[in-house]
Structure 1
Amino acid sequence: KIGMGKRKDWYGSFEISIKNGENGDLYPIGHVGSGLSEEELDKLSKMIESIKIEEIEGEVIVEPKIVLEVTYEEIQESDKYECGYALRFPRVVKIREDKSPEDINTLEDVKRIFHIQRGKE
């Protein structure tokens, strides 16, 4: 999404996704808007401009080519997202230009981490 206030010149919120390991489809698992410096926001906004497909009411649809490393408080079960999980308090650690969308975490990874954090494994 396009930012507001101080972030009006950059994109300020980003949908983050995981992939289905079986077919490679992407599943949203949250939105992240914190953790990036102004310099990183500027860089990411320029990257987004180069892969933008369309813009609808302040939301921008892009080709899935950018990989962000995020940290989070925990993984929660969620009815909001098709994958059944959401990241609680996600925060960007860095833009991973050394990674491709094929390298992102899978739904199976998220399920495994969820069970580990719950002490069920």
Structure 2
Amino acid sequence: DRVRIFSRRLTDVTDSIPEMVDYAKTKVKASEFLIEGEVIALGEGGKPVPFQDLMRRFRRVHGVEDMVEKIPLRLYLFDVLQCDGKTLIDLPYTERWEILASLAPTESLAPRIMTRDPKVVNDFMQAALKEGHEGLMAKSLTSDYAPGARGKKWFKIKPSDRLDVVIVAADWGSGRRVGWLSNYHLAVRDDTTGEYLVVGKTFKGLTDAEFDMITKRLQELKIRESKWTVHVKPEIVVEVAHNEIQKSPRYKSGFALRFARIAKFRDDKTPEEADTIQRLRKLYEKQFENKGRLLKEVP
């Protein structure tokens, strides 16, 4: 009767989601199991709310029962690693799925299709996006389960939005990026005041040659420098891909880009032509055309 639930980063979140503990005890037809899935937080119309709202459930240690009502969860199961003493990770995905389907109610299984037709995949993708989900996970039917790594047999299919932002500072890198300015502070412009407001950081998207090149350019634009960070004139514009715009108290802008990565340099654009905080606010609101909002305000 002992159930433990862990996040992707192996944080124990059991006490924060008691309804999932109850599900495991009453709905799964096995006495011992290790199952992988995802919970999403539901808002208006039963649609998923932004990821950061789900994190409010995972981080809550007090008033948990109240949060169960305020932020209801939906469970999607998609893999089984162990069942009644048998380790299953070396079995092909199709066999693991059959076992999972025999253990859990159909409504708890992640929707899936098997097809070679790109149009069918695209239609499935568009339906998922319309329901407020981030995208799809593609898996080889013969793939085993590699703990901690997707490898080349699993990959995510997600649309990404893009913004033109300005680099206003950069941190010195560590490890293999030591000696390069390689963690970039990304900002949008306030159309009213002209101020550049940070909306996130990223070190992703560049080659070693580009790290070297941008380090030299940023040093030429240096305004001041602290131990780890070089602040620069806002002149370099980059196109950044991201998966979501989130509310964030960390930055003066009030927003942060989730999974930001540099797609390309926009030397054809001036800083004044970069995206603005006003446009970012509109894009944030537009996200809720497909995503839900929380049914109740949660502190």
Q: TM-score under structure 1 normalisation?
A: 0.94
Identity %: 33
- Match runs of 1:59-98 below 5 Å: 59-98=229-268
Counterpart secondary structure, 1:118: helix
What is the match of residue 200 of structure 2? 30
Supply the distance in 2 between the matched residues of 1:65 and 1:81 (Cα, whole angstroms): 20
What is the match of residue 5 of structure 1? 175
Counterpart secondary structure, 2:235: coil
Aligned-CA RMSD value: 1.1
What is the match of residue 42 of structure 1? 212
Q: 2:285 aligns with which of 104, 115, 120?
A: 115
Supply the distance in 2 between the matched residues of 1:84 and 1:15 (Cα, whole angstroms): 15
Supply the distance in 2 between the matched residues of 1:5 and 1:53 (Cα, whole angstroms): 26
The amino acid that maps onto 2:259 is: F
Instruction: Please give the per-residue CA displacement for 1:56-115, whole angstroms capped at 9, x wherever unaligned.
Output: 011101111111110111000111111111101100001111111101111111011111
Supply the distance in 2 between the matched residues of 1:5 and 1:116 (Cα, whole angstroms): 39
- Figure out how many residues of one structure are paired with residues of the other and give that number: 120
Q: Which runs of 5+ in 2 are unaligned?
A: 1-170, 291-299
Q: CA deviation at 1:9?
A: 2.1
What is the match of residue 18 of structure 2? none
Q: Which runs of 5+ in 1 are unaligned?
A: none
Supply the distance in 2 between the matched residues of 1:42 and 1:36 (Cα, whole angstroms): 10
Instruction: Please give the per-residue CA displacement for 1:25-68, whole angstroms capped at 9, x wherever unaligned.
Output: 11110001100011111111111011112210111011111111
Rg (Cα) greater in structure: 2
Counterpart secondary structure, 1:6: helix
Task: Flag the structure with more relative contact order, 1 or 2, with Cα contacts below 8 A and sequence separation at least 6.
Answer: 1
Q: Does 1:14 align with 2:184?
A: yes
Over 6 Å off, 4+ runs: none
Supply the distance in 2 between the matched residues of 1:118 and 1:5 (Cα, whole angstroms): 39
Supply the distance in 2 between the matched residues of 1:58 and 1:103 (Cα, whole angstroms): 29
The amino acid that maps onto 1:46 is: K
